[in-house]
């Protein structure tokens, strides 16, 4: 009985941490929602509105998302004309990458 209670308490704690989330990841998600979501699926499920734009949750299968920092700072040029060139500042990049990490299950969900 005590064990079950402890397990329930631990679960409630974990849910709490998830609900509070990581403020960087939260800002990253807001940024992605505003700037990327009209083409990319930015959440844990769903298809991209623009079929050829990779869902953000699949990016880490191509490369470590941290390696995107440089590309984001210099402006991503994917060679596809429908992908606008973005230049993000360092804080925006940190936020966005913190968010991408949560999609892999490595970080705390926003
Ligand atoms: C107007 C549509 C559009 C918007 C808005 C958009 N993208 Fe894309 N993005 C694309 C398309 C299309 C591709 C696939 C390009 C290709 O495969 O040649 C892509 C590819 C990518 C890739 C993969 C690049 C690679 O070489 O693997 C990343 C990372 C990416 N986008 C990040 C972003 C981020 C971050 C934002 C928001 C700041 C964003 N995109 C906004 C259309 C868009």
Cα 22 to ligand 1 centroid, rounded to whole Å: 24
- Is residue 41 in contact with ligand 1, taking CB distance under 6 Å? no
- Is residue 38 in contact with ligand 1, taking CB distance under 6 Å? yes
Separation between Cα atoms, residue 32 and residue 101, nearest integer Å: 13
What is the pLDDT at residue 6?
A: 45
Going by CA atoms, what residue is nearest to atom 7 of ligand 1? 83
- Is residue 59 in contact with ligand 1, taking CB distance under 6 Å? yes
What is the pLDDT at residue 83?
A: 67
The whole-number average pLDDT for the span 4-12 is 46
Minimum mean pLDDT range among 32-36, 44-48, 82-86, 101-105: 82-86
Tokens of 43: 């959440």
97 burial level (CB within 10 Å; 0-12, 13-18, 19+)? buried
pLDDT tens digits for range 42-88: 999 999 999 999 999 999 998 899 888 887 887 776 655 666 777 78
pLDDT at 5 over 60: no
Separation between Cα atoms, residue 20 and residue 51, nearest integer Å: 32
What is the pLDDT at residue 12?
A: 45
Measured from the Cα of 86, ligand 1's closest atom is: 38
Residue 55: how many other CB atoms lie within 10 Å:
16
């Amino acid at each position: 009985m005590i064990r079950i209670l402890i397990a329930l308490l631990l679960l409630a704690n974990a849910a709490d941490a998830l609900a509070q989330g990581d403020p960087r990841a939260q800002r990253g998600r807001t940024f992605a929602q505003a700037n990327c979501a009209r083409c990319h699926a930015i959440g844990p499920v769903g298809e991209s509105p623009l079929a050829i734009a990779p869902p953000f949750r699949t990016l880490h299968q191509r490369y470590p998302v941290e390696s995107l920092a440089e590309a984001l700072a210099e402006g991503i040029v994917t060679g596809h004309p429908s992908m606008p060139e973005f230049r993000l500042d360092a804080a925006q990049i940190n936020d966005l990458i913190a968010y991408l990490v949560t999609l892999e299950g490595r970080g705390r969900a926003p």
